[in-house]
Amino acid sequence: MTYIPDSNRYQKMQYRRCGNSGLLLPALSLGLWHNFGGIDNVDNAREILHTAFNNGITHFDLANNYGPPPGSAEITFGEIFKQDFKNYRDELLISTKAGWPMWDGPYGDFGSKKHLVASLDQSLKRMGLDYVDIFYHHRPDPNTPMEETMAALDLIVRQGKALYVGVSSYSPAETEKAYAILKNLGTPCVIHQPKYSMFERSVEDGLLDVLEVNGIGGIAFSPLAQGLLTNKYLNGIPENSRANANRGNGAMEKDAITEENIAKVRRLNKMAEERGQSLAQMALAWVLKDKRISSVIIGASKPEQVMDSLGCLQNTSFSEYELQTIDQILA
């Protein structure tokens, strides 16, 4: 059956400018880190993607190593794209990344020009695309000169394999250096993807200021702290949870679910109820309250989770009292 997206999809989403660029991002982006790998159900993955696009989520965020096994999320996405989304390519933002271990030998990891160019070529082949909209260097490389890494990103844009480039998990100083090198080359750094949630706030120690000063958009990953900021763990670790799955690939570790953290989550959940939101909705809204964040990346194991996340857009503002109370709970 031919997929026809909801004709009202763009009325359902808020779009935010990505830094000083011409690019608009949906407030919520869909990440394919989990649940789209070779071990996952393709029909479920398809339904999640349909639900996202039907509600104005135009940005699908991938990386070369997403799976498991590594690369399989791009293969799954490529199959679904070919069948359902090919006619809507110009309405979609598709991003991918490179910089974590991907293949054997000295060129399968980190930030050399050799690795980045080869990795994107592989990603494009897996997804069946001519180009991606955003290509990221996935993490800093302490051993490759940053000039080489940024020259690779510049080359990739000039080759037409990516429209925009960005970085992920760079420190404030590294971000400033990357921005300056790219600006000098004539290819702007338009976006930074940091980890940011109520439980992970290191971006507030200078990074958000760097993004603001340089006109770089911010897009947060793991805004729900890998599921901790949902109602899933209010009563301990359920059998089918990600913390119990032990899938590797950065999935949440059981040791993140401490009694202390659960106590904080329960208090946050009570506050979310007072706001008329689920805990997940409040946690997403809390990240989106900062205008330097252009988008948050949500994950989903079923379509209903996408729909629940969309509820955060009903209220992304917080009173001073609410912000102070959240800080006290998290302290």
* Predicted pLDDT of residue 237: 72
> Regarding beta strands 293-298 and 15-17, do their DSSP bridges make them parallel or antiparallel, or are they unpaired?
unpaired
* Predicted pLDDT of residue 236: 72
Please report whether residue 28 resides in a domain.
yes
Q: Is the pLDDT of residue 184 over 80?
A: yes
How far apart are the C-alpha atoms of 193 and 31, rounded to whole Å?
12
How far apart are the C-alpha atoms of 136 and 267, rounded to whole Å?
36
**In contact, 325 and 58? CB cutoff 8 Å:** no
Please report whether residue 3 resides in a domain.
no
Ranges 104-108, 187-191, 206-210, 228-232: which has the least confidence: 228-232
243-282 pLDDT per residue, tens: 665 545 455 556 778 889 999 999 999 999 999 999 999 9
How far apart are the C-alpha atoms of 199 and 232, rounded to whole Å?
16
* Predicted pLDDT of residue 252: 57
* Predicted pLDDT of residue 251: 56
How far apart are the C-alpha atoms of 175 and 152, rounded to whole Å?
16
Please report whether residue 258 resides in a domain.
yes
Please report whether residue 21 resides in a domain.
yes
- The pLDDT mean for the chain works out to 95
How far apart are the C-alpha atoms of 148 and 177, rounded to whole Å?
12
Number of domains present in the structure of the chain:
1
Position of tokens 């930030």?
111
What SS3 state is found at 24? strand
Q: Is the pLDDT of residue 235 over 90?
A: no
Q: What is the pTM of this model?
A: 0.94
Please report whether residue 221 resides in a domain.
yes
39-89 pLDDT per residue, tens: 999 999 999 999 999 999 999 999 999 999 999 999 999 999 999 999 999
Q: State percent of the chain over pLDDT 70.
A: 95
Based on DSSP, count helices (H) and strands (E) in the chain, helices before strands.
11, 10
Domain assignment of residue 289, given as a range: 9-330
Q: Is the pLDDT of residue 150 over 60?
A: yes
Q: Give residues with Cβ within 8 angstroms of 130, minimum separation 6.
A: 124, 160
Phi-psi region for residue 56, left (φ > 0), alpha (ψ -120 to 50) or beta? left
Burial status of residue 289 (CB atoms within 10 A of its CB: 0-12, 13-18, 19 or more): middle
- Residue 241 banded pLDDT, cuts 50, 70, 90: low
Please report whether residue 105 resides in a domain.
yes
Q: Give residues with Cβ within 8 angstroms of 253, minimum separation 6.
A: 243
Please report whether residue 209 resides in a domain.
yes
Backbone dihedral angles phi then psi of residue 250, each to the nearest 5 degrees: 80, 10
135: CATH: 3.20.20.100
- Residue 233 banded pLDDT, cuts 50, 70, 90: confident
* Predicted pLDDT of residue 243: 61
How far apart are the C-alpha atoms of 217 and 295, rounded to whole Å?
9
